[in-house]
A = this chain, B = another copy of it.
């Protein structure tokens, strides 16, 4: 609440400035909202305060407006969240480090895209669970690449480099599963308290499932390994593994009759 009154409270609503001086040179009157501004503000608000804190009324206040005014630009809270997810995904499409015509091969394309999605997830860790779990518009548009645009681009990149239709679709499924699993775990790991038991003396504070750590000898013994954050290398290695698997799929779909 403390910082909340800051941005919007210094009052465009106040009649204090003596209506007589309503000269048009004071364009302080706040440019009208539009959907994009509402969605952008929502993303910022979620990044800063967390998803649970996002409320129509609070987002309104954050924008210097009554919460009810938002209903002019989104049909409701659900639509607001859908819009947030869509915006965050489409922003990726405009990223020049991510989207170029796949002239350097499909592996380059998949690498760039994977890293772009990862950057997005890390930049908006509170938004990513939304990207992961909002019900998709259709069962074949899979998070986190939840748009027909990305799906089409993906299929284009792969089929134009020799993948059969079936292989391209299978690749899309494997690729989305990989991204979703890794990135959801990575963002959920951040924002978790650094945990007790970075060192050995931590059998106090029963970890909320009622049993002491002493009952789990392997966990205790490997605490130092478990506490390390290997997200980045883990991501690279799994991605590498996936690309190799896809390369095998490609070879098999090119030479369907080959032995073994």
Contacts and interface: CB of A to CB of B under 8 A. Distances in A.
Contacts of A226: 140, 151, 169
Interface in A153-178: 155-156, 159, 165-166, 168-170, 173-174, 176-178
A148 B4 CA distance: 39
Contact of A139 (B82, B129, B136, B192): B192
Interface in A1-37: 7-9
Contacts of A191: 135
Interface string A64-103: 0000000000000000001000100000000000000000
A7 B169 contact: no
B210 A7 contact: yes
A218 B159 contact: yes
B133 A222 contact: no
Contact of A207 (B137, B169, B177, B179): B137
Contact of A152 (B170, B193, B219): B219
Interface stretch (A53-61, A105-113, A181-189, A252-260): A181-189
Given A133-B129, A195-B140, A152 B188 contact: no
A225 interface: yes
Contacts of A188: 133, 135-136, 142-143
A149 interface: yes
Interface of A: 7-9, 82, 86, 129, 132-133, 135-143, 147-149, 151-152, 155-156, 159, 165-166, 168-170, 173-174, 176-182, 184-185, 188-189, 191-197, 207-211, 213, 215-219, 221-223, 225-227, 229-230, 234, 238, 241, 245
A101 to B, nearest CB: 15
B138 A207 contact: yes
A182 B184 contact: no
Contact of A148 (B132, B137, B216): B216
13 contacts: A8-B210, A132-B133, A137-B192, A139-B194, A142-B189, A147-B209, A148-B207, A148-B213, A148-B215, A148-B216, A165-B221, A173-B230, A176-B181
